[in-house]
Structure 1
Amino acid sequence: MCGICGQLRFDYKSVQSETLSMMMSKIARRGPDASGQWADGKIGFGHQRLSIIDLSNYGAQPMKDETLDLVLVFNGTIYNYQSLRQDLIKQGYTFFSHSDTEVIIKAYHFWGEDCVTHLDGMFAFCIWNQKTNLLFVARDRMGIKPLYFSLTDQVFSFASNTQALVAIGANTGINSVALQQQLSLHGVVPAPNTILNGVNKIEPATTLTIDAKGKVVEKT
């Protein structure tokens, strides 16, 4: 498993490296092999890597495609990435790595938000489109890979666990609905709730698109 985190700010402030580092420290156990950060003004990503496919530095994250102006952080495995890679090569795409991570980038560029329908695997990922200033967030159909977020008027923050969001100030008040669910459903709190008021869980088979002003569009 890997760990991902990041922020998109709506208040004209820049994402701070210290904030990303704080979040990454809380997901570090998910990816002991390497860590990476990328930030550009209002947007920033962090990644803790567990190397499985393409162990070279070409598979490192956050992964930026300089040609397509897309940046990705990804946790999971795409089982059909090799066949998708061949399909995309036939469409004229070239690859600089042998990773399933890069296949997601090209798939998003080619199919847009519908790329998730072509992915066979378990995944949670976020893609920043530098041309459109849109953040695309997706979670796999079964919800195998976790992805949490907090949303305020100032910032959208996401991470692979709740601890990373609490570390940067998410509201830790108890969600009364989630508490009732936890007590009545044998300790299970279904998405989108978590036990914390300030943290939500992205539902399985769901995507979010967030623009630079904080408008969120959810699709299932």
Structure 2
Amino acid sequence: MCGISGIFNFDGAPVNEAQLREMNRVIHHRGPDGDGIYIEGNAGIGSTRLAIIDLREIANMPIYDTENRYVIVYNGEIFNYVELRNELLQKGHKFNTGSDTEVVLNAYKQWGEDCLHRLNGMWAFAIWDKTEKTLFCSRDRYGIKPLYFYKDDNKLIFGSEIKQILSCGVDKTVNDETIYDYLVFHFIDHTENTFFKNITKVQAGHKFTIKNNEFKLSRWYNLPEVNYIRDEKNLYSDLYDLLYDSVRLRLRSDVEVGSCLSGGLDSSAIVCIMHEILHNEGKPEIQKTFTACYDDPLIDERPYVEEVIKQTNSTKYYLFPDVQGFRSDIDKMTYHQDEPYT
């Protein structure tokens, strides 16, 4: 994962560079492989990078288009970036890196905000247009990658984690309604509210822009309304084809890819399909799987895991969570989560 940061001052005040760098610093854990910022007057964006695609330093963010008009910071992965890159090359776009970040940037350059509908992946990104002085930010369809913001009459501050925004001196008053919903109903993520009264989450499938000093937040994606199965005859084969293609795309990486394996239906299916794909493509990689194990046989799933391991010849890693480990990790978990969770 990576992390992004941003500040826009509606009152025209220049962005405080030290403040933006501090926002990057507090999320160094999200991106230990590189960090950077871009500031232009009253607008500034920053990022920390965990390198997955194109590990070279040239692929660190912020990334600029070849004409030096657009600047992007980005957290996520676009699984169909190879296909999109080829399409964009045919349309005359140029690339300096092999990263999916630059694919997103050129996709925005080609199709504008409509590029979101062409992206297959998970993301939160911000693009600054130097010519139009426009900021565009987006979150993926299902909210896999986080994005939060604080806004008042003078400024907008956004980031991948709440702690970045708090580092700018934003008031930490709690949101009583959110706390009530959590304690009484165990609800989280059901509204745009966070556990902090002054901090809002960009909800799944939403975007926002700042143009001519005007902030606009809107939904760009919703689940399609389909109340019937189109083709019952090929239902199972269609499901398998979709799952196979989904796993295939997610194996694109310049670093090793592993998988959690619980022994349940979902993870077992994914690991078996990974094995099939690697075998079909003649790749020599040995899969690595990671499993939480317990001494209590009533909750331990190692017998099921072992069946998958035998089928796929994967290298297994067994982890044994316990109360002592939980106690030692709880403070760190709380720090990274920023909010209660279920």
Name 1:49's counterpart in structure 2.
Answer: 49
Name 1:21's counterpart in structure 2.
Answer: 21
> CA–CA distance in 2 between the matches of 1:156 and 1:29?
24
Q: Larger strand proportion, structure 1 or 2?
A: 1
Name 2:64's counterpart in structure 1.
Answer: 64
Runs of 5+ consecutive residues of structure 2 not aligned to the other structure? 221-342
Cα shift readout 1:86-140 (whole Å, capped 9, x = no counterpart): 0011111111110000001100011111111000001000111111111111001
Q: Aligned-pair distance for 1:215?
A: 2.7
Cα 1:201–1:10, aligned 2, differ >3 Å: closer, same or farther?
same
Aligned residues: 220
Q: Aligned-pair distance for 1:178?
A: 1.2
Whether 1:113 and 2:152 are equivalent positions in the alignment is no
Name 1:125's counterpart in structure 2.
Answer: 125
Name 1:200's counterpart in structure 2.
Answer: 200
Q: What secondary structure, in the 3-state scheme, does the structure 2 residue paired with 1:54 have?
A: coil
Q: Aligned-pair distance for 1:66?
A: 4.7
> CA–CA distance in 2 between the matches of 1:116 and 1:215?
19
Q: Residue type of the partner of 2:40? A: D
Q: Is the contact between residue 24 and residue 48 of structure 1 (CA under 8 Å) also seen in structure 2?
A: yes
Q: Is the contact between residue 127 and residue 135 of structure 1 (CA under 8 Å) also seen in structure 2?
A: yes
Q: Is the contact between residue 107 and residue 115 of structure 2 (CA under 8 Å) also seen in structure 1?
A: yes
Whether 1:87 and 2:87 are equivalent positions in the alignment is yes
Q: Larger helix proportion, structure 1 or 2?
A: 2
Identity over the aligned pairs, expressed in percent?
Answer: 37
Q: What secondary structure, in the 3-state scheme, does the structure 2 residue paired with 1:215 have?
A: strand
Name 2:32's counterpart in structure 1.
Answer: 32
Name 2:97's counterpart in structure 1.
Answer: 97
Q: Is the contact between residue 181 and residue 189 of structure 1 (CA under 8 Å) also seen in structure 2?
A: no
Q: Is the contact between residue 149 and residue 202 of structure 1 (CA under 8 Å) also seen in structure 2?
A: yes
Name 1:10's counterpart in structure 2.
Answer: 10
Q: Is the contact between residue 210 and residue 217 of structure 1 (CA under 8 Å) also seen in structure 2?
A: no
Cα 1:27–1:187, aligned 2, differ >3 Å: closer, same or farther?
farther
Question: Normalising by structure 1, what TM-score?
Answer: 0.95
Q: Is the contact between residue 139 and residue 206 of structure 1 (CA under 8 Å) also seen in structure 2?
A: yes
> CA–CA distance in 2 between the matches of 1:46 and 1:72?
9
> CA–CA distance in 2 between the matches of 1:15 and 1:81?
33
Q: Residue type of the partner of 2:169? A: G
Cα 1:42–1:212, aligned 2, differ >3 Å: closer, same or farther?
farther
Q: Aligned-pair distance for 1:30?
A: 0.5
Runs of 4+ aligned residues of structure 1 deviating over 3 Å after TM superposition are none
Question: Normalising by structure 2, what TM-score?
Answer: 0.62
> CA–CA distance in 1 between the matches of 2:119 and 2:87?
13
Q: Aligned-pair distance for 1:17?
A: 1.2
Q: Is the contact between residue 189 and residue 195 of structure 1 (CA under 8 Å) also seen in structure 2?
A: no
Name 2:188's counterpart in structure 1.
Answer: 188
